[in-house]
């Protein structure tokens, strides 16, 4: 419960306009954690009123993204709830009714200014050093004046009548914030074509759904002094659940060049992380660190642990710098902590996309993957890296290739001497297991040829795996099996 003893209700309300921005993912995470920490409700609703940009494909993508992240919602699409529908495109009647009530009660008014008139007055205000916001010229039109404008064919917008006083509120992240009235002019709620704007739909939905806390990006801070008076008007009119939300504005996520991270920047969109094979828990762990700390020097934790510890008062208001390398390092830690069986299961889609296993792997493929997974879990930072490392085990002999650059560097005349000695040592070997393979190769190459391990095993590694970087050599050879190992060594000698 909050200090006011209201059950916490927070929301995440993105627009379905494509790839979800990681800053929005962090916003969803902080709202989810705040709800879970306080025993409240996490509401997921979709602001899909922009017909030019929104799409059904992007809408489904939003749902898929939140499911993939593991941020379960208590109310919203496919879950339902008492305050639906949860898509703005299905709530148009509500917005129209509320706008009319605001006008009738004097909280809003019709304004007939043309764009040209507005721009002319703004230019004059700027030239005189005054605020260029709306000057309130049409605030108190008479019926006759309205009729005259309408006779000219003008279609009015609906503007909210801002109070002529400073707006002060306590930001949950930034403390007390004040906006003077000259900086917050009357703003448009409904366009001349009747389309409601975000400035109306967002607060009306928050009011109707009883949202108690709005945690959102710093870029929306300037809209808060507009929304608070609107919420007070809605409460006065008995619209919604009678709640004026508390606001907290999360710090910017900064990208390259110390500017706000864009969805088009490398690392700015969620799809990239899914494709590269980040674990959702690893990505969320890192995003949590952008402005918040679980305490002490600890950086790796689970979603459950975050929810237990999350306090909005501990969010740092300063901009947070996105560090791709640290994000990868955090993800790698989560990979290390996965049980082998779980990691193997998560690798399947990436191996399947590469054509190395079936979409539904065979029993033989699954057994080989289970045996190979421990060889890579300490060597990868994202799941997709396992594809290159394990490909040599799953490709057919006809499909096996050796990296030409690695071959040129390692499979020289001296390197082929090493390969020949390795083949001679492995051909009679029984049992063909890791300890026996290691002993045989060390005896033949290190003791027999007098080579240092780095020079002794490199040519063998390239011959059997196709690359200079591979999982541990002796274990790899055991999994590859004697017949395939000898075939590849022979092929290297013949090339």
- Per-residue 3-state assignment (H helix, E strand, C coil) for 83-143: CCCCEHHHCHHHHHHHHHHHHHCCCEEEECCCHHHHHHHHHHHHHCCCCCCCCCCCCCCCH
Q: How many CA atoms lie within 13 A of 493 on its CB side?
A: 15
The whole-angstrom separation of Cα 59 and Cα 277 is 22
The whole-angstrom separation of Cα 171 and Cα 206 is 17
Helix, coil or strand: residue 391: helix
CA 143 to chain centroid, in Å, comes to: 51
Of 51, 53, 57, 46, which Cα lies nearest the Cα of 87?
A: 46
Q: Are 30 and 292 in contact (CB under 8 A)?
A: yes
Tokens of 17: 């306009």
The whole-angstrom separation of Cα 312 and Cα 285 is 16
Residue with tokens 């109070």: 163
Q: Does 263 participate in catalysis according to the annotation?
A: yes
Per the residue annotation, which of 263, 274, 409, 482 is the catalytic one? 263
The whole-angstrom separation of Cα 240 and Cα 23 is 29
The whole-angstrom separation of Cα 34 and Cα 292 is 12
Going by their DSSP bridges, the two strands 213-217 and 167-171 should be labelled as unpaired
263 is in an annotated binding site: yes
Of 76, 72, 75, 80, which Cα lies nearest the Cα of 16?
A: 76
Tokens of 314: 């501990």
Of 471, 490, 494, which Cα lies nearest the Cα of 392?
A: 471
Sign of CA dihedral 389, 391, 394, 400: negative
The whole-angstrom separation of Cα 334 and Cα 287 is 14
Of 408, 420, 393, 426, which Cα lies nearest the Cα of 494?
A: 420
Provide the annotated binding site for ATP: 263
Q: Which residues are catalytic?
A: 263
């Amino acid at each position: 419960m909050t200090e006011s003893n209201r059950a916490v209700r927070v929301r995440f309300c993105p627009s379905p306009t494509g790839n979800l921005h990681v800053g929005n993912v962090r916003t969803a995470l902080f709202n989810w954690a705040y709800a879970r920490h306080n025993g409240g409700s996490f509401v997921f609703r979709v602001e899909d009123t922009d017909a030019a940009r929104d799409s059904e494909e992007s809408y489904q993508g939003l749902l898929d993204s939140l499911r993939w992240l593991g941020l379960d919602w208590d109310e919203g699409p496919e879950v339902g709830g008492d305050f639906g529908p949860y898509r703005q495109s299905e709530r148009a009647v509500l917005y129209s009714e509320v706008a009319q009530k605001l006008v009738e009660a004097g909280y809003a008014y019709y304004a007939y200014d043309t764009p040209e008139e507005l721009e002319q007055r703004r230019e004059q205000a700027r030239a005189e050093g005054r605020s260029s916001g709306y000057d309130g010229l049409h605030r108190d039109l008479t019926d006759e004046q309205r009729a005259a404008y309408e006779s000219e064919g003008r279609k009015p917008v609906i503007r909210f009548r801002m109070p002529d006083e400073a707006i002060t509120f306590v930001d949950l992240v930034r403390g007390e914030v004040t906006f003077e009235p000259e900086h917050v002019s009357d703003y448009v709620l409904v366009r001349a074509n009747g389309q409601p704007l975000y400035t109306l739909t967002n607060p009306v939905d928050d009011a109707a759904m009883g949202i108690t806390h709005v945690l959102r990006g710093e870029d929306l801070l300037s809209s808060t002094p507009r929304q608070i008076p609107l919420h007070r008007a809605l409460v006065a009119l008995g619209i919604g659940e009678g709640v004026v939300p508390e606001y907290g504005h999360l710090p910017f996520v900064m990208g390259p060049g110390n500017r706000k991270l864009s969805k088009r920047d490398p690392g700015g969109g969620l799809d990239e992380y899914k494709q590269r094979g980040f674990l959702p828990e690893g990505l969320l762990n890192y995003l949590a660190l952008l402005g918040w700390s679980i305490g002490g020097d600890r950086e790796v934790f689970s979603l459950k642990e975050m929810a237990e510890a999350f306090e909005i008062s501990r969010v740092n208001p300063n901009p947070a710098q996105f560090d791709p390398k640290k994000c990868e390092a955090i993800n790698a830690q989560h990979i290390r902590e996965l049980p082998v069986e779980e990691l193997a299961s998560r690798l399947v889609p990436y191996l399947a996309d590469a054509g190395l296993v079936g979409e539904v792997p065979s029993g033989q493929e699954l057994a080989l993957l289970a045996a190979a997974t421990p060889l890579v879990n300490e060597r990868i930072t994202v799941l997709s890296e396992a594809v290159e490392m394990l490909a040599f085990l799953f490709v057919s002999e006809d499909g096996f290739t050796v990296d030409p650059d690695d071959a040129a560097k390692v499979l020289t005349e001296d390197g082929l001497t090493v390969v020949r000695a390795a083949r001679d040592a492995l051909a009679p070997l029984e049992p063909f297991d890791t300890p026996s393979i290691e002993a045989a190769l060390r005896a033949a190459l290190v003791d027999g040829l007098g080579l240092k391990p780095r020079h002794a095993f490199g040519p063998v590694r390239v011959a059997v795996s196709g690359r200079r970087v591979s999982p541990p050599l002796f274990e790899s050879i055991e999994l590859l099996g004697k017949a395939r190992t000898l075939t590849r060594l022979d092929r290297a000698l013949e090339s």
